[in-house]
Structure 1
Amino acid sequence: MRNAPLKMACLCLLLLVILINSYLLIKIGSGQHALLLAGSILISGSIFIILFIASGWRNQRSLQFEHLFNEYPIPMWIYEKSTMRFLSVNDAAIQKYGYSRKDFMEITLKDIRNKEDIPLLIDNAAERCNGTEYRGIWRHRKKDGTNFFVEIYSLPAIYYGKNARFIMAKDVDAEVKASKEARELGMRYELLAQATNDAVYDKNLVTNQVTWNHGLSNLFLYNSNENTDLVQWWQENIHPADHARINASLAACIAAGSNYWSEEYRFQCADGYYKYVVDRAFIIYEDKAPLRMIGMMQDIDKHVKQAIQLEEQNRTLKEIAWINSHEIRRPVVSILSITGLFDKSNQDRHLNSQLMEWLHESTQQLDDIIHKIEHKVKKLQ
């Protein structure tokens, strides 16, 4: 009974008045005093009734507060400041933390914290929870051991005569983790931007704005004041032969909701020269919509050119090998055959003259083939 002390005080007051007036009636006993006694009793009874109605009205307000407290969707509780014991908890707290109402009455605030956080809890309660409002973010622990972050709203309170604190604990676990991840990602981006000569970028896929680090100047000779802060500028500098492929690849990656994208293409430098680059990026989404794209363009022009040159050399070597095995064999066979037909006694001068012409033709063919091989060898060099 929440207003029992007030009702008891009213009853004691009424009995005291009755006893005093009864004593006077016995001692004096006159009709005038009897009338006075009756009036006093009537007044005392009226006071008692008024106080009783007032206490009932206060009790009704208290019940309304209790109903609002218990039905509120955010976890709330009241705890005794000196012992940190729970004095009252609402239904949302019971559902969120996994403790029954009876369990809560048997534990303290320390039981919903990790052991390493308890010293901070005690220091905070001593320094910041001294009759003032408090707001802060803390890590709490459920009955099953699960940790999550809450934003605490704390107010001083007197609860049944006890020095207490009223607490509202809003679940902000998702927001804190997202903020922490974004902060760590931003730190990694800054460290990467300072540690590499590659062109590191941060594209806002909502506003189409781009932030570049120093690599843009080092690799592609552009200055930051050359309208390089838009995605459109990046697209316009992709080689025309690669433009459609790169845009289609990025669109397909975003449509699939993939976080990782990588492509090789040619990008135009400030002097008009196209460099081969490999572009790798991480895409961040919010509600399945692309929000941010952090990536790095690496200059692979030298490697690609070397690969192309090596491919050309291999192709040339294959051509030389084919010439050696096919074209050069024909005149060599002819020369060998012709030399075997010569009349060594020189009696058939006409035959030898004809053979000399054929030998000259075959030798000329061999010479042409050798020059052809020399030309290809020069290309290799």
Structure 2
Amino acid sequence: MTNFNETKNLLENSNFYYVIIAGMDSNYSYVNSHYASAFGYISENMVGKPYYITMHPDDRKVCEETSIKCFQNPDKSFPATIRKHDGKGGYIITQWEYRAIFNDQNEPDGVFCMGYDITEYVRANENLQVAKSEIEEKKTILEQIGWEQSHVIRRPVANIIGLVNILNKMDLDQNMSNICEMLTDSADQLDEAINTIVRKTE
């Protein structure tokens, strides 16, 4: 318990970490000032209150399962992600490390928990995943455009160029020759434009 007391004293006035201890009766036996301040709207004095009053009901099972692991493995810490009431009808997301506490007689005495708010990180990660998904969708669309430009649109352009070449070999008056030359230039420009688009989507 000595090490836990040292950690408690070190982080009593932390502006970042939450530190709590839940006794074997499932009630708070200690909360640091940061935790008390963050969730003071629920209770002015957390000590003696049930540990679950600050959390999403569905996350109680996470706490119970993690605590069991701690007592089964007393030399190890175990992580838990818990949603906590934000006082506005929603939840913040917190990340914790749990560790079993034993008294001088080596009997289970509670669970030591240290955590912090990861809400902004989680939201940023969610936004990143959405952005990645949108990028993948746009990439797929660009690839489809490139394929259509290369295979669907280029075919009639090639046909136009071929027909113009046939016309150029025919006996045409000057007016028709000028038109064929303009058609050739336009078809070549269109073909180059298609090639440029295809290269950009590769």
1:221–1:270 CA contact under 8 A, matched in 2: no
Does residue 271 (structure 1) correspond to residue 68 (structure 2)? The answer is no
- TM-score, normalised relative to structure 1: 0.37
SS at match of 2:63: helix
Question: Among residues 79, 97, 103, which one is paired with 1:262 in the alignment?
Answer: 79
Question: Among residues 125, 130, 141, which one is paired with 1:307 in the alignment?
Answer: 125
Does residue 320 (structure 1) correspond to residue 135 (structure 2)? The answer is no
Percentage identity across paired residues of the two chains: 17
Counterpart of 1:201 in structure 2 is 20
Question: Among residues 289, 306, 312, which one is paired with 2:107 in the alignment?
Answer: 289
- TM-score, normalised relative to structure 2: 0.64
Counterpart of 1:186 in structure 2 is 5
SS at match of 1:251: helix
Runs of 4+ in structure 1 over 6 Å off? none
1:334: Cα distance to partner? Answer: 1.6
What runs of 5+ residues in structure 2 fail to find an aligned partner? 168-175, 177-202
Paired residues for 1:74-93 under 5 Å: none
Of structures 1 and 2, the larger Rg is shown by 1
Query: In the alignment, residue 301 of structure 1 is paired with which amino acid?
Result: T
SS at match of 1:272: coil
2:131 and 2:48 mapped to 1: Cα distance?
41
Paired residues for 1:115-264 under 5 Å: 182=2, 185-206=4-25, 208-220=27-39, 222=41, 224-225=43-44, 228-230=46-48, 232=50, 234-264=51-81
Task: Report the count of equivalent residues.
Answer: 162
Q: 1:221 to 1:294 in 2, by over 3 A?
A: same
Counterpart of 1:331 in structure 2 is 148
1:309 and 1:263 mapped to 2: Cα distance?
22
1:223 and 1:236 mapped to 2: Cα distance?
8
1:291: Cα distance to partner? Answer: 0.5
Counterpart of 1:340 in structure 2 is 158
Paired residues for 1:88-127 under 5 Å: none
2:21 and 2:85 mapped to 1: Cα distance?
19
SS at match of 2:12: helix
Query: In the alignment, residue 117 of structure 2 is paired with which amino acid?
Result: D
2:18–2:32 CA contact under 8 A, matched in 1: yes
1:308: Cα distance to partner? Answer: 1.9
